[in-house]
Amino acid sequence: MSKKDFVASIQEGYSHEWDHLILWKAKLDHEVVSEATISIPLKTLNRHGLIAGATGTWKTKSVQLLLEWLSNHWIPSLVMDIKWDLSWLAQPGDGENKHIISRHTSLDLPYDATWFPVELLSLSDQPWVRLRSTVSEFGPLLFSKMLWLNHTQESVMSVIFKYCDDRQLGLVDLDDMKTVLKFITEEGKEWFEDSYGFVAESSVGTIFRKIVALEQQGADIFFWEPSFEVFDLVRTWSDWKWVINILRLTDMQDRPALFSTFMLSLLAEVYDVFPEAGDLDKPKLAIVIDEAHLVFKEASSELLDQIETVVKLIRSKGIWIFFCTQLPDDIPAPVLSQLWLKIQHQLRWVTERDRKAIKLAVENYPISDYYKPEDLIMELWIGEAFVTCLNEKWVPTPLSHTYLRAPQSRMDILTQAEIDIAISSSLLIHKYKDDLDKESAHELLQKEIAEKVKADGKNADDQNNGSVSHLLNNKFVKGVASDFTNQIIRWALRKMWLKVHGSRSFVKF
Ligand SMILES: Nc1ncnc2c1ncn2[C@@H]1O[C@H](COP(=O)(O)OP(=O)(O)OP(=O)(O)O)[C@@H](O)[C@H]1O
Ligand SMILES: [Mg+2]
């Protein structure tokens, strides 16, 4: 097969009638072929995508580039930034950088450095837009999944939500839920059981302990008001660029269960509020999940089923989801089979799992007359990738060994002064800045208990369930305290082991 045939096959495979993103040029025999432009039609983006590759192979740069081009094409985006290496989009790239100049000379494309409008979001207490939710908005099912409740405990949770709904007890934060749990097993037990049936104290106790454990993971900060409205993700900065929403999740690396539940709640909310749209000319919103293995790492099989379902359904709302991870098999097979845009950076064969991942990646490519992907996948340079997507007739495009353009924005960290500028130009910060502390289940039940105690002529102080001493003495909490102590002991033992044996040895306590 000649170079001429190659160019003809790429040009035919990647000719699109509608708007498209030009991110790469194809390579043949390790040479850039400047006539062989590789592009993705915007129309088929809602069939979702995957970026995979070994560490340091430019996966996050691929994400950066995609976000830039989406913004340029009036598509708003939300990216889960686990390593905090995407905020860089807020500043222009370095047009004098010799690597960038040489890359763009080989591509025969101009390089225009520019910045992009970003909105910085946070799940915890950074001084930018806080992304929060209420327990009520999570609903009984998702809240139970987050706590890993079994079926019996899950049904108790459904009854509790119904009870709160009937009595108009707002469930905003975790304190609300804890107060309700205590109330229905103590002061309100009789009335609750008359109306809603018997609930085993052991089930309520387990739920209570799991909530306290969740608080210890820092989830209490997430459940608060005002809750975030997902339509706020869809905003234009000016009529030439759309906002890239960057959610900083650096503190989620060691809390994968919380991360996966948060992801599902966000996707479910987006699915819920966006209207049915069918196949559009371009997505309404792109959601990019960097380090996506964290979503699936500790998710229960039921949570995985739910994520799979939402990923499948959300495309009809015009939402594009893009997963970025090291090995393709980090993504469960049912989700992987729904990802049609594939950007595969270099994979390295170090372990048996790597060998299987390479095999899996290669098996999912269209057959190529020009490449031997099973060999080439290990020889790709930094900033190169295998690419295939769907064309406008929904047919996979030819597999292409590509060379990536450089991001137009910076490839280096922001200074504090630059972060401050991004914060001060935020369009949303004022909307979500102040905490709302409305009267919810916790306050309402406290009031009810106090009134009852007064009526019974007892000493209200002795009965005050909200006090710290009462909480520490609470029968439900004792188990958590010992679980937590065990965790600390395990952590300390592991630290000692690493000190003695070095970081390469692995031991699980
Ligand atoms: N200013 C720069 N210009 C070009 N390349 C750079 C620049 N800064 C870093 N790099 C290269 O980019 C690579 C890191 O890219 P990136 O963060 O996109 O990788 P990654 O695949 O996302 O890695 P990880 O899996 O660790 O997140 C480094 O190997 C480095 O060689
Ligand atoms: Mg990365």
Nearest CA to ligand 1 atom 26: 55
Instruction: State the residue range of the domain holding 298.
Output: 3-131+225-431
Number of structural domains the chain divides into = 2
Q: How confident is the model at residue 458 (pLDDT cuts 50, 70, 90)?
A: low
Tell which wins on pLDDT, 484 or 99: 99
Spatial CA neighbour of 123 closest among 80, 68, 166: 80
The rounded distance, in Å, linking the Cα atoms of 387 and 405 is: 14
Sequence-distant (≥ 6) Cβ neighbours of residue 120 within 8 angstroms:
87, 126, 128, 129, 246, 248, 419, 422, 423, 426
Same domain flag for 369 and 467: no
Ligand 2 centroid from CA 136, angstroms: 34
Give, for ligand 1, the residue of 58, 59, 87, 322 to mutate: max count of ligand atoms closer than 8 Å to Cβ: 58
Same domain flag for 209 and 311: no
Total Cβ atoms within 10 A of residue 38: 26
pTM of the model: 0.83
Q: Which atom of ligand 1 is nearest to the CA of 345?
A: 21
pLDDT (tens digit, 9 = 90+) per residue, 328-381?
A: 999 999 999 999 999 999 999 889 999 999 998 899 899 999 999 999 999 999
Ligand 2 centroid from CA 250, angstroms: 12
| Percent of the chain surpassing pLDDT 90 | 59
| 337 part of a folded domain | yes
| 43 part of a folded domain | yes
What is the predicted pLDDT for the residue at 462? 52
Give, for ligand 1, the residue of 97, 411, 412, 414 to mutate: max count of ligand atoms closer than 8 Å to Cβ: 411
Tell which wins on pLDDT, 71 or 300: 71
Q: Is 178 in the pocket of ligand 1 (CB under 6 A)?
A: no
3-state DSSP percent of the chain in helix, strand and coil, to 5: 50, 15, 35
Same domain flag for 177 and 302: no
The rounded distance, in Å, linking the Cα atoms of 132 and 2 is: 57
Q: What is the CA radius of gyration of the chain?
A: 26
Ligand 2 centroid from CA 123, angstroms: 20
Q: Which atom of ligand 1 is nearest to the CA of 64?
A: 18
Give, for ligand 1, the residue of 23, 50, 59 to mutate: max count of ligand atoms closer than 8 Å to Cβ: 59
| 12 part of a folded domain | yes
Q: Omega into 407 within 30° of 0, i.e. cis?
A: no
Q: Is 168 in the pocket of ligand 1 (CB under 6 A)?
A: no
Ligand 1 centroid from CA 411, angstroms: 8
| 482 part of a folded domain | no
From the CA of 56, the nearest ligand is 1
Q: How confident is the model at residue 218 (pLDDT cuts 50, 70, 90)?
A: confident
What is the predicted pLDDT for the residue at 249? 86
Chain centroid offset of residue 405 CA: 26
Is the distance from CB of 267 to CB of 307 less than 8 angstroms?
yes
Same domain flag for 241 and 319: yes
| Buried residues in 191-202 as b, exposed as e (16+ CB within 10 A) | ebeeeeeebeee
Give, for ligand 1, the residue of 96, 289, 382 to mutate: max count of ligand atoms closer than 8 Å to Cβ: 382
Same domain flag for 123 and 239: yes
Same domain flag for 101 and 233: yes
Q: How confident is the model at residue 473 (pLDDT cuts 50, 70, 90)?
A: very low
Beta strands in 153-243 (DSSP E): 236-238, 241-242
Same domain flag for 105 and 230: yes
Q: Which atom of ligand 1 is nearest to the CA of 57?
A: 21
Ligand 2 centroid from CA 385, angstroms: 14
| Percent of the chain surpassing pLDDT 70 | 89
pLDDT (tens digit, 9 = 90+) per residue, 268-285?
A: 889 989 999 988 999 999
What strand order describes the sheet that includes 49-52?
A: 31-41, 20-28, 400-404, 384-388, 341-344, 49-52, 319-325, 285-289, 77-81, 244-248, 118-122, 129-130
Q: Is 60 in the pocket of ligand 1 (CB under 6 A)?
A: yes
Checking if the pLDDT of 470 tops 60, the result is: no
Give the length of the chain: 509
Chosen domain end from 431, 461, 493: 431
Ligand 2 centroid from CA 60, angstroms: 4
Tell which wins on pLDDT, 124 or 87: 87
| 496 part of a folded domain | no
Tell which wins on pLDDT, 3 or 297: 3
Same domain flag for 151 and 234: no
Ligand 2 centroid from CA 56, angstroms: 7
Q: Which atom of ligand 1 is nearest to the CA of 85?
A: 17
CATH number at residue 104: 3.40.50.300
Checking if the pLDDT of 471 tops 60, the result is: no
Checking if the pLDDT of 503 tops 60, the result is: no
Q: Is 411 in the pocket of ligand 1 (CB under 6 A)?
A: yes
Give, for ligand 1, the residue of 57, 88, 91, 346 to mutate: max count of ligand atoms closer than 8 Å to Cβ: 57
| 281 part of a folded domain | yes
Nearest CA to ligand 1 atom 16: 58
Same domain flag for 301 and 243: yes
The rounded distance, in Å, linking the Cα atoms of 247 and 250 is: 9
| 509 part of a folded domain | no
Chosen domain end from 376, 400, 431: 431
Q: How confident is the model at residue 440 (pLDDT cuts 50, 70, 90)?
A: confident
Which of 107-121, 192-206, 367-381, 446-460 is least confident?
446-460
From the CA of 58, the nearest ligand is 1
pLDDT (tens digit, 9 = 90+) per residue, 398-438?
A: 999 999 999 999 999 899 999 999 888 888 988 888 777 77
Same domain flag for 159 and 114: no
What is the predicted pLDDT for the residue at 493? 37
Chosen domain end from 396, 431, 466: 431
Across-strand partners of 38? 24
Query: Any idea what the Cα angle at residue 400 is, between residues 395 and 404, rounded to 5°?
Result: 120
The rounded distance, in Å, linking the Cα atoms of 164 and 177 is: 10
Same domain flag for 355 and 380: yes
How high is the mean pLDDT of the chain? 85
What is the predicted pLDDT for the residue at 495? 39
Ligand 1 centroid from CA 126, angstroms: 26
What is the predicted pLDDT for the residue at 364? 87
Same domain flag for 210 and 352: no
| 493 part of a folded domain | no
